[in-house]
Chain A
Amino acid sequence: MTQEEIIRPENKVYSRPDLLCDVHTHYCPGCSHGVVHKIIAQVLDEMGVADRTIGIAPVGCAVFAYNYIDVDWIEAAHGRAPALATAANRLNPGRLVFTYQGDGDLSAIGTAETIHACNRGENIAIIFINNAIYGMTGGQMAPTTLLGMKTATTPYGRRADLNGYPLAITPLLAQLDGTCYVTRQAVHTPAAVNKAKRAIRKAFENALAGKGTSVVEVVATCNSGWKMTPAQSNQWMAEHMFEKYPLGDLKDVESKTK
């Protein structure tokens, strides 16, 4: 069978999602942010809710998320996405409201907003990209940085006595009564990507159904900050990050109401 015979519309099994804008992203080659953007666009396409979705973009490398996925967006000040999501959702009943936040945004400067939105059980989905570093500003240590990990501000590796311990924030969020679904995913293999996609879909469905706050942590790479190739970064992540940040569901309250 020739390439021309195979490459026909009726044989297509994987397409670029319609909701992804036809632009080049500013992300470094191989960055996990791109993969997560793609699966969010796929889920919104499949759910058919793009016209009633509001995304809240963070400060961090994903600051331009609003240029890449064709839904309505609000750009939050650093860390304040869950507060804006609260307002957007309460003032626009029936909309799907989600935040997209890095680990610096969500678990450093935005810790208070994150915890209180989850504790109030806001009917929003929080997509949390944990690459254990401040990617955008040049690779400084984040609360999530692993012990021993070299960053611009821990050039000899993070030390507990000097820099404190890595912060696993999703287990804290899972303890709060307002969260209905808290899960930790990754996007380093095809199987992991498909699983993360299902988790994001569930989080979005929960938000629309008014079940409370859903949190999808995606353990991710920042190959530029980590100073490795994208493929090496995925391997390093599997070998080192999953020990501190194990994948799987932390909480799933099926039929929780407000």
Chain B
Amino acid sequence: MAKVYGAVTIDTNRCKGCDLCVVSCPADVLLLQPQEVNDRGYHYAYAANPEKCIGCAACATVCPDACIEVYRVVEK
């Protein structure tokens, strides 16, 4: 069975903390920062469980501010 490794990078300064990526992630990777805020005062998204990412790009696809970029490696 091929194993899929994914990873995301999030432009935390552009993020508005809308939560849409968090609810769209099928692997429970993402959360909003509970305390920290960015320059504009938003509780930005971060990968709380990065090792669970499968690189499906659901989060990036729904992000209204195009903050998320996605990487994927398929290991045969």
User: Residues of A with Cβ closer than 8 Å to B?
Assistant: 1, 3, 5-8, 11-17, 20, 24-25, 27-35, 38, 187-190, 193-194, 229-231, 234
By DSSP majority rule, is chain B's interface helix, strand, loop, or mixed? mixed
Known: A11-B72, A14-B57, A38-B64. 19 other contacts (CB 8 A): A6-B72, A12-B69, A12-B70, A13-B57, A13-B71, A14-B70, A16-B67, A20-B66, A24-B40, A28-B16, A29-B16, A29-B42, A30-B20, A31-B64, A34-B63, A34-B64, A188-B62, A189-B62, A229-B19
Bin the interface of chain B by size: 35 or more
Nearest CB on A from B12, distance (A)? 13
B27 contacts A by Cβ under 8 Å:
no
B7 contacts A by Cβ under 8 Å:
yes
CA of A190 to CA of B62, assembled, Å: 6
The answer to whether residues A6 and B6 also contact, given A13-B70, A13-B72, A30-B19 and a CB cut-off of 8 A, is yes
The 4 closest A-B pairs by CB, nearest first: A34-B64, A30-B18, A29-B16, A14-B70
The answer to whether residues A231 and B23 also contact, given A14-B61, A190-B58, A193-B61 and a CB cut-off of 8 A, is yes
Residues of chain B within 8 A (CB-CB) of A5 are: 73
- Which of chain A's residues has its CB closest to B25's CB? A190
CA of A31 to CA of B67, assembled, Å: 14
Residues of chain A within 8 A (CB-CB) of B70 are: 12-14
